[in-house]
A = this chain, B = another copy of it.
Protein backbone atom coordinates (compact mmCIF):
# COMPACT_ATOMS: atom_id res chain seq x y z
CA UNK A 1 0.00 0.00 0.00
CA UNK A 2 1.01 3.58 -0.47
CA UNK A 3 0.68 5.67 2.70
CA UNK A 4 -0.15 9.00 1.12
CA UNK A 5 1.60 12.10 2.29
CA UNK A 6 -1.64 13.83 3.20
CA UNK A 7 -2.89 11.09 5.49
CA UNK A 8 -1.78 7.77 6.94
CA UNK A 9 -5.36 6.50 7.21
CA UNK A 10 -5.92 3.76 4.62
CA UNK A 11 -7.68 4.87 1.47
CA UNK A 12 -10.56 2.45 1.91
CA UNK A 13 -11.28 3.78 5.39
CA UNK A 14 -11.13 7.36 4.22
CA UNK A 15 -13.63 6.59 1.48
CA UNK A 16 -15.97 4.86 3.91
CA UNK A 17 -15.67 7.70 6.41
CA UNK A 18 -16.59 10.32 3.84
CA UNK A 19 -19.35 8.16 2.37
CA UNK A 20 -20.75 7.51 5.82
CA UNK A 21 -21.14 11.15 6.67
CA UNK A 22 -22.50 12.18 3.30
CA UNK A 23 -24.80 9.20 2.80
CA UNK A 24 -26.33 9.61 6.23
CA UNK A 25 -26.66 13.37 6.08
CA UNK A 26 -28.12 13.67 2.58
CA UNK A 27 -29.22 10.19 1.56
CA UNK A 28 -27.51 7.74 -0.78
CA UNK A 29 -29.25 9.10 -3.85
CA UNK A 30 -28.31 12.70 -3.26
CA UNK A 31 -24.59 12.03 -2.94
CA UNK A 32 -22.50 11.33 -6.02
CA UNK A 33 -19.14 9.60 -6.10
CA UNK A 34 -17.52 12.87 -7.11
CA UNK A 35 -18.44 14.41 -3.77
CA UNK A 36 -17.22 11.37 -1.88
CA UNK A 37 -13.80 11.48 -3.53
CA UNK A 38 -13.61 15.23 -3.00
CA UNK A 39 -14.46 14.88 0.69
CA UNK A 40 -12.09 11.98 1.25
CA UNK A 41 -9.28 13.45 -0.86
CA UNK A 42 -8.98 10.31 -2.91
CA UNK A 43 -8.76 9.66 -6.62
CA UNK A 44 -11.81 8.33 -8.40
CA UNK A 45 -9.91 5.26 -9.57
CA UNK A 46 -9.05 4.46 -5.97
CA UNK A 47 -12.72 4.38 -5.10
CA UNK A 48 -13.47 2.04 -7.99
CA UNK A 49 -10.47 -0.12 -7.12
CA UNK A 50 -11.76 -0.65 -3.59
CA UNK A 51 -15.46 -0.89 -4.46
CA UNK A 52 -16.95 -2.47 -7.55
CA UNK A 53 -19.61 0.21 -7.92
CA UNK A 54 -21.46 2.89 -6.01
CA UNK A 55 -24.07 0.32 -5.04
CA UNK A 56 -21.33 -1.88 -3.60
CA UNK A 57 -20.04 1.11 -1.64
CA UNK A 58 -23.52 1.71 -0.25
CA UNK A 59 -23.75 -1.92 0.84
CA UNK A 60 -20.27 -1.80 2.38
CA UNK A 61 -21.16 1.36 4.26
CA UNK A 62 -24.34 -0.20 5.66
CA UNK A 63 -22.48 -3.35 6.64
CA UNK A 64 -19.90 -1.34 8.51
CA UNK A 65 -22.64 0.65 10.24
CA UNK A 66 -24.37 -2.59 11.18
CA UNK A 67 -21.18 -4.05 12.62
CA UNK A 68 -20.54 -0.98 14.71
CA UNK A 69 -24.12 -0.81 15.87
CA UNK A 70 -24.19 -4.43 17.01
CA UNK A 71 -21.15 -4.07 19.25
CA UNK A 72 -21.70 -0.51 20.47
CA UNK A 73 -25.39 -0.97 21.22
CA UNK A 74 -24.84 -4.20 23.14
CA UNK A 75 -21.94 -2.77 25.10
CA UNK A 76 -23.82 0.38 26.02
CA UNK A 77 -26.94 -1.45 27.17
CA UNK A 78 -24.90 -3.80 29.33
CA UNK A 79 -22.92 -0.92 30.77
CA UNK A 80 -25.95 1.20 31.63
CA UNK A 81 -28.06 -1.43 33.36
CA UNK A 82 -27.85 -4.92 34.80
CA UNK A 83 -31.43 -5.88 35.55
CA UNK A 84 -33.03 -7.42 32.42
CA UNK A 85 -36.07 -5.14 32.49
CA UNK A 86 -33.92 -2.09 33.13
CA UNK A 87 -31.84 -3.06 30.12
CA UNK A 88 -34.93 -3.08 27.93
CA UNK A 89 -35.98 0.34 29.15
CA UNK A 90 -32.54 1.88 28.99
CA UNK A 91 -32.62 1.24 25.25
CA UNK A 92 -35.11 4.09 24.98
CA UNK A 93 -32.85 6.42 26.95
CA UNK A 94 -30.15 5.63 24.42
CA UNK A 95 -32.59 6.39 21.63
CA UNK A 96 -33.33 9.75 23.21
CA UNK A 97 -29.64 10.62 23.35
CA UNK A 98 -29.35 9.61 19.70
CA UNK A 99 -32.39 11.67 18.67
CA UNK A 100 -30.88 14.69 20.39
CA UNK A 101 -27.68 14.59 18.38
CA UNK A 102 -27.65 17.68 16.15
CA UNK A 103 -27.03 15.65 13.00
CA UNK A 104 -29.70 13.04 13.74
CA UNK A 105 -31.60 12.21 10.57
CA UNK A 106 -33.31 8.94 11.38
CA UNK A 107 -32.20 5.35 10.91
CA UNK A 108 -29.67 4.88 8.12
CA UNK A 109 -31.05 1.42 7.38
CA UNK A 110 -34.69 2.44 7.12
CA UNK A 111 -33.75 5.51 5.10
CA UNK A 112 -31.60 3.47 2.73
CA UNK A 113 -34.26 0.79 2.31
CA UNK A 114 -36.70 3.52 1.36
CA UNK A 115 -34.29 5.05 -1.13
CA UNK A 116 -33.11 1.79 -2.66
CA UNK A 117 -36.70 0.57 -3.10
CA UNK A 118 -35.91 -2.89 -4.43
CA UNK A 119 -35.31 -5.70 -1.96
CA UNK A 120 -32.76 -7.36 -4.24
CA UNK A 121 -30.40 -4.42 -3.87
CA UNK A 122 -27.44 -5.54 -1.73
CA UNK A 123 -27.88 -2.50 0.47
CA UNK A 124 -31.52 -3.36 1.08
CA UNK A 125 -30.48 -6.83 2.19
CA UNK A 126 -28.12 -5.33 4.76
CA UNK A 127 -30.86 -3.01 6.00
CA UNK A 128 -33.21 -5.97 6.39
CA UNK A 129 -30.56 -7.99 8.21
CA UNK A 130 -29.98 -5.07 10.56
CA UNK A 131 -33.67 -4.88 11.27
CA UNK A 132 -33.73 -8.56 12.18
CA UNK A 133 -30.59 -8.17 14.28
CA UNK A 134 -32.33 -5.49 16.31
CA UNK A 135 -35.21 -7.87 16.93
CA UNK A 136 -32.80 -10.64 17.90
CA UNK A 137 -30.96 -8.43 20.36
CA UNK A 138 -34.12 -7.21 22.06
CA UNK A 139 -35.25 -10.82 22.21
CA UNK A 140 -32.17 -11.75 24.26
CA UNK A 141 -33.07 -8.99 26.72
CA UNK A 142 -36.69 -10.11 26.93
CA UNK A 143 -35.65 -13.72 27.34
CA UNK A 144 -33.36 -12.72 30.16
CA UNK A 145 -36.33 -11.07 31.85
CA UNK A 146 -38.19 -14.40 31.70
CA UNK A 147 -41.53 -12.95 30.69
CA UNK A 148 -44.33 -14.82 28.90
CA UNK A 149 -44.70 -14.61 25.12
CA UNK A 150 -41.20 -13.23 24.61
CA UNK A 151 -41.50 -13.10 20.81
CA UNK A 152 -44.68 -11.02 20.92
CA UNK A 153 -43.30 -8.68 23.54
CA UNK A 154 -40.08 -8.29 21.59
CA UNK A 155 -41.91 -7.47 18.39
CA UNK A 156 -44.04 -4.89 20.16
CA UNK A 157 -41.01 -3.23 21.73
CA UNK A 158 -39.19 -3.07 18.41
CA UNK A 159 -42.26 -1.48 16.83
CA UNK A 160 -42.04 1.23 19.48
CA UNK A 161 -38.33 1.68 18.76
CA UNK A 162 -38.78 1.96 15.00
CA UNK A 163 -41.83 4.16 15.36
CA UNK A 164 -40.03 6.50 17.71
CA UNK A 165 -37.07 6.73 15.35
CA UNK A 166 -39.23 7.60 12.36
CA UNK A 167 -41.37 10.13 14.20
CA UNK A 168 -38.33 11.72 15.86
CA UNK A 169 -36.81 12.13 12.41
CA UNK A 170 -39.79 13.60 10.61
CA UNK A 171 -40.82 15.87 13.49
CA UNK A 172 -37.32 16.54 14.82
CA UNK A 173 -38.73 15.71 18.24
CA UNK A 174 -36.53 13.70 20.59
CA UNK A 175 -39.20 13.56 23.30
CA UNK A 176 -41.04 10.74 21.55
CA UNK A 177 -38.33 8.45 22.95
CA UNK A 178 -39.78 9.03 26.42
CA UNK A 179 -43.28 8.23 25.22
CA UNK A 180 -41.97 5.05 23.65
CA UNK A 181 -40.22 4.19 26.91
CA UNK A 182 -43.41 4.77 28.84
CA UNK A 183 -45.33 2.51 26.46
CA UNK A 184 -42.64 -0.18 26.70
CA UNK A 185 -42.76 -0.01 30.49
CA UNK A 186 -46.52 -0.41 30.40
CA UNK A 187 -46.16 -3.49 28.19
CA UNK A 188 -43.56 -4.94 30.54
CA UNK A 189 -45.71 -4.36 33.59
CA UNK A 190 -48.71 -5.92 31.84
CA UNK A 191 -46.49 -8.94 31.14
CA UNK A 192 -45.73 -9.22 34.82
CA UNK A 193 -42.42 -7.43 35.10
CA UNK A 194 -41.57 -5.89 38.47
CA UNK A 195 -41.30 -2.22 37.48
CA UNK A 196 -42.25 0.90 39.35
CA UNK A 197 -44.19 2.96 36.80
CA UNK A 198 -44.38 6.04 39.03
CA UNK A 199 -40.63 6.24 39.13
CA UNK A 200 -40.52 6.20 35.34
CA UNK A 201 -42.81 9.16 34.87
CA UNK A 202 -40.43 11.30 36.88
CA UNK A 203 -37.24 10.58 34.99
Contacts and interface: CB of A to CB of B under 8 A. Distances in A.
Contacts of A158: 163, 167
A170 B113 contact: yes
A68 B55 CA distance: 36
Summarize A's interface: helix, strand, loop or mixed.
helix
A49 interface: no
A179 B155 contact: yes
Contact of A131 (B113, B159, B167, B179): B167
Interface of A: 26-27, 29-30, 105-106, 109-111, 113-115, 117, 119, 127-128, 131-132, 152, 155-156, 158-164, 166-167, 169-172, 176, 179-180, 182-183, 186-187, 189-190
Given A152-B179, A182-B152, A114 B119 contact: no
A131 B105 CA distance: 16
A179 B189 CA distance: 17
A152 B183 CA distance: 9
30 contacts: A27-B115, A27-B117, A29-B30, A105-B117, A106-B114, A110-B166, A110-B170, A113-B170, A114-B115, A119-B172, A127-B170, A131-B171, A132-B171, A152-B182, A156-B160, A156-B182, A159-B159, A159-B163, A159-B164, A159-B176, A159-B179, A159-B180, A160-B160, A160-B163, A162-B166, A163-B164, A163-B166, A183-B183, A186-B186, A186-B187
Total copies of the chain:
2
Task: List the 3 closest A-B pairs by CB distance, nearest first.
Answer: A163-B163, A159-B163, A156-B183
Contact of A117 (B30, B113, B164, B176): B30
Nearest to A111: B114
A170 B190 CA distance: 29
A164 B109 CA distance: 16
Contacts of A166: 110, 162-163, 166
A154 to B, nearest CB: 9
A29 B190 CA distance: 44
